[in-house]
């Protein structure tokens, strides 16, 4: 029989966000889950599976990992996931660049359409250049 | 090719509960799994996947996690699973926060109501919001 797929979506933000070793509201990235969607009437709710988040950074100064969590609010007081520590993968040509990938596979139905990703380093600093969230219907 | 999607259901409960480190009937929620489709005639049973529980809290004292025991009865004597939510404390208000846990229980229940019993690992907090996501 033919295979059935579930529609996938990607949300891409390019914040150029300087990270330090502490969480803060200035170091959060808004994730508009319906970014680029032409679906009508999607202004109040979102349902789907958050699959993964890929974060690219540059100008790192000795970081070993990036910590992150998803929150329902911009203040970071309504956490949706626990803070996760992910070891960085450094660049081949430019050692101060790199990425992390966080796998969630989290099935949610929310009465909101944006989440906030809070980020910090384990130590020292880097600049987050892009955040890509993949989700499926 | 065309994609297919699941049907998602969101079951919220915003009754405030003061949690301790012990389960009790007074610290439980009745979750009507068919509340989001109450107009459907004959929904006296439940068939679906219980996917995810999310919670939010305030006035945290000491607790690092919350254990949710999912039961078929209001007395809490017929559990179908227990799940630990590791808590994420707030950035702006450190005594607030939230968390989530994946259940992934595929189940067929003869009653569409399940009961969530909450307790902390230690200390106390005030549960302000709980949401269950289930899929058909």
Q: Quote the CA–CA distance of B30 and B104 in Å, as a whole number.
A: 19
- Classify residue A63 by its DSSP letter: -
Residue A106: strand, helix, or coil: strand
Q: Does B21 touch chain A (CB under 8 A)?
A: no
Mean pLDDT of B81-93: 97
Q: How far is CA B122 from CA A109, B48, B101, in A?
A: 29, 33, 18
B102 vs A105: CB contact, 8 Å cut-off?
Answer: yes
B91 vs A118: CB contact, 8 Å cut-off?
Answer: yes
Q: Is this complex's ipTM strictly greater than 0.85?
A: yes
Task: Output the average pLDDT for chain A.
Answer: 92
Tell me how long chain A is: 137
How many helical (H) and strand (E) elements, i.e. helices and strands, does chain B have?
A: 0, 10
Q: Which of B8, B88, B131 sits opposite A81 (nearest CB)?
A: B88
Q: How far is CA A92 from CA A98, A99, B70, in A?
A: 9, 11, 48
**Of A28-37, A60-69, B77-86, the least confident:** A28-37
Q: Quote the CA–CA distance of B128 and B93 in Å, as a whole number.
A: 15
Residue A27: strand, helix, or coil: helix
Per-residue pLDDT of B40-71, as tens digits, reads: 656 678 888 999 999 999 999 999 999 999 99
Per-residue pLDDT of A79-97, as tens digits, reads: 999 999 999 999 999 999 9
B residues 26-85 lying closer than 8 A (beta carbon) to A: 51-52, 54, 56
Could you tell me which of B97, B96, B5, B10 has the C-alpha nearest to residue B50?
B10
CB contacts of A47 in chain B (<8 Å) are 8, 10, 133
Cβ-Cβ contacts under 8 Å for A45 (sequence gap 6 or more): A109, A110, A111, A112, A113, B10
Per-residue pLDDT of A101-130, as tens digits, reads: 999 999 999 999 999 999 999 999 999 999
Q: Quote the CA–CA distance of B70 and B53 in Å, as a whole number.
A: 10
Looking at the complex, report in whole angstroms how far the Cα of residue A5 sits from the nearest Cα belonging to chain B.
Answer: 5
CB contacts of B90 in chain A (<8 Å) are 75-79
- Classify residue A34 by its DSSP letter: T
A110 vs B131: CB contact, 8 Å cut-off?
Answer: yes
pLDDT of residue B1: 45
Residue A119: strand, helix, or coil: strand
Q: Does A112 touch chain B (CB under 8 A)?
A: no
Could you give the percent of chain B with pLDDT greater than 70?
92
Q: Quote the CA–CA distance of A55 and A33 in Å, as a whole number.
A: 16
Per-residue pLDDT band at A40 (split at 50, 70, 90) = low
Cβ-Cβ contacts under 8 Å for B130 (sequence gap 6 or more): B12, B13, B14, B29, B53, B54, B55, B56, B116, B118
Cα Rg of chain A, angstroms: 16
**Of A17-31, A37-51, B54-68, B113-127, the least confident:** A37-51
A7 vs B5: CB contact, 8 Å cut-off?
Answer: yes
Could you tell me which of A131, A14, A22, A136 has the C-alpha nearest to residue A76?
A22
Inter-chain CB pairs, A–B, below 8 Å: 96
Query: How many CA atoms lie less than 13 Å away from B45 in the CB half-sphere?
Result: 6
Q: Which of B52, B88, B93 sits opposite A107 (nearest CB)?
A: B52
- Classify residue B3 by its DSSP letter: B
Residue B35: strand, helix, or coil: helix
Task: Output the average pLDDT for chain B.
Answer: 92
What are the structure tokens assigned to B97, written together? Answer: 């926060």
Position of tokens 């050692």? A95
Could you tell me which of A18, A23, A15 has the C-alpha nearest to residue A126?
A18
Q: Does A44 touch chain B (CB under 8 A)?
A: no
């Amino acid at each position: 029989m033919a295979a059935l797929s579930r529609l996938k979506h990607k949300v891409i933000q390019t914040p150029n966000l300087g990270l330090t070793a502490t969480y803060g509201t200035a170091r959060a990235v808004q994730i508009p889950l319906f970014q680029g969607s032409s679906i009508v009437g999607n202004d109040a709710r979102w349902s789907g599976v958050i699959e993964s988040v890929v974060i690219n950074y540059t100008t790192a100064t000795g970081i070993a990992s990036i910590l992150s969590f998803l929150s329902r609010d911009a203040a970071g007081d309504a956490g949706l996931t626990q803070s996760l520590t992910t070891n960085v993968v450094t660049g081949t040509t430019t050692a101060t660049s790199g990425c992390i990938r966080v796998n969630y596979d989290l099935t949610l139905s929310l009465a909101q359409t944006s989440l906030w990703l809070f980020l910090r380093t384990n130590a020292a600093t880097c600049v987050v250049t892009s955040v890509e969230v993949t989700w499926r219907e | 090719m065309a994609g297919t999607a699941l049907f998602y259901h969101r079951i919220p409960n915003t009754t405030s509960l003061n949690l301790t480190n012990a389960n009790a009937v007074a610290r439980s929620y009745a979750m009507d799994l068919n509340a989001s489709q109450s107009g459907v005639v004959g929904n006296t049973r439940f068939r679906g996947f219980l996917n995810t529980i999310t919670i939010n809290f305030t006035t945290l004292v000491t607790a690092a996690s919350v254990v949710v025991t999912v039961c078929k009865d209001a007395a809490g004597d017929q559990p179908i699973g227990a799940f630990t939510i590791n808590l994420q404390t707030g950035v702006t208000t450190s005594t607030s926060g939230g968390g989530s846990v994946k259940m992934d229980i595929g189940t067929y229940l003869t009653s569409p109501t399940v009961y969530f019993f909450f307790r902390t690992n230690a200390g106390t907090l005030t549960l302000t919001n709980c949401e269950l996501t289930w899929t058909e």
